Amino acid sequence: MLSTRATPYVIAVVSVVLATGVSLYMYPIDSDFPALLLLVAVAITASTGGFGPALVATTGGFLSLDFYFEQPPFTFSVSSIGTAFDLVAFVVVSVLLGTLNARLRDARQRAYAARREAELALQARDDALAIVSHDLRTPLTAIKTSVSTLRHPGTPLNERTSTELLGTIEAEADRLVHFVGDALAMSRLESGITPDPQWNALGEIVAAVLDRVTPVLGERPLSFDVPDTLPLARFDAGLLQQALTNVLENVGRHTPPGTAVSIVGRIGDGTVRVEVSDAGPGIPIEARERVFAKFQRLSDNSFGTGLGLAIARAATTAQGGTILIDESPLGGARFTMLVPNLASGGPSGAS
């Protein structure tokens, strides 16, 4: 069986052979018909197979025309200027025909691919919209129902029920706040932002992030290894903070309480490296790319927005860095963030 790549060339050869055969059978020497029929063969080849096969058909057509149909017949020699002119004209028309047809075919293919891509993007947008509207409607429903019940109860509510309903309203409002915050952060990162690299002490940034995520990490034992003797580095602190915050919140949400977490920060030659390792269940190899996609949830975790790690990655790549996952020395997952250190020649040097 022929591979699909070879098929257009087969069409080229077959169409030239057929045109030659038909011409030989039907017409005497010195007619214009063979040349026209061979041009048809080139045109068909070009529109189905593109430029390469069209070139093959042109060459074949030229040889056939010269050998069978031009004076003197059954030789490749050319007898007169007129014959040479015929042959040159054939080649010129044939190449033009082949090129035009091949271009037409490429344009058609590109248009098809573009439409396919647009359809996929539209599908992705619809999916995202469905998730967003679900994630917005769910807490709104809970809030609306609770408020309506509090305002117009069927029978007078006891104190415990009122407290519960009020608690639901606050919790669901918090969930909305969280979701809207993440969605805005994501769209801001996706619309493209210009990093603002400044001189920073890595330890300061990590410590500030830890202060902020303490409520999410809870009682997880934390080891912190970012020496305050590290040299200063130049990078966008806001973006690194955003990435690290989302990674740590992810650890807080997806590892059991009490799971050990370790943070290591280093300033390398031209890079800033932050590693977050945990002793949790880890992330399977096949899911390590998927977790960075928007609205991906590996487990059915109702509180997460499904944007945390997508934000972490967007914030890292926004300043030319990378983020990756492998196994941690503690047995769970390890997130490594690497961002460029734009320090050239070191800080201007205080005492």
What residues line the site for other proteins (CB under 8 A)? 173, 177, 181, 184, 196, 198-201, 203-205, 207-211, 224, 226-228, 232, 236-238, 240-241, 347-351
The minimum distance between CB 329 and other proteins, in angstroms, equals 21
Determine contact, residues 200/244, Cβ cutoff 8 Å: no
The distance of closest approach from Cβ of residue 240 to other proteins in the complex, given in angstroms and rounded to an integer, is: 8
Q: CB-wise, 106 or 196, nearer to other proteins?
A: 196
Measured from the CB atom, the residue of 47 and 241 that comes closer to other proteins is 241
Minimal distance in Å, beta carbon 339 to other proteins? 14
Please count the other Cβ atoms lying within 10 Å of the Cβ belonging to residue 347: 11
Phi, psi of 78 (to 5 degrees): -115, 130
Residues 6+ apart with CB under 8 A from 39: 61, 90, 93, 94, 97
- Report angle CA 306, 294, 123 to the nearest 5 degrees: 125
Residues 6+ away with beta carbon under 8 Å from 95: 55, 58
What distance in Å separates the CA atoms of residue 244 and residue 263, rounded to the nearest whole number? 10
Task: Give the shortest CB-223-to-other proteins separation in angstroms.
Answer: 12
DSSP 3-state of 175? helix
CB of 192 to other proteins, least distance (A): 14
Give the DSSP H/E element, type plus range, for residue 223: strand 222-225
Query: Could you give the residue ranges of the DSSP H alpha helices within 70-80?
Result: none
Q: How far is the CB of 309 from other proteins (least distance, A)?
A: 20
DSSP string, 24-41: HHH--TT-SHHHHHHHHH
Nearer residue to other proteins within complex by CB, 190 or 327? 190
Residue closer to other proteins, measured from CB, 65 or 343: 343
For other proteins, the closer of residues 233 and 283 by Cβ is 233
- Whether 327 and 336 have beta carbons less than 8 Å apart is answered as no
Least distance in angstroms from the C-beta of 133 to other proteins = 21
Token duo for residue 109? 């293919």
Q: Which is nearer to other proteins, 77 or 198 (CB)?
A: 198
Containing 334, the helix (H) or strand (E) segment is strand 333-340
- Give the chain's length: 351
Q: Closer to other proteins by CB, 207 or 216: give it.
A: 207
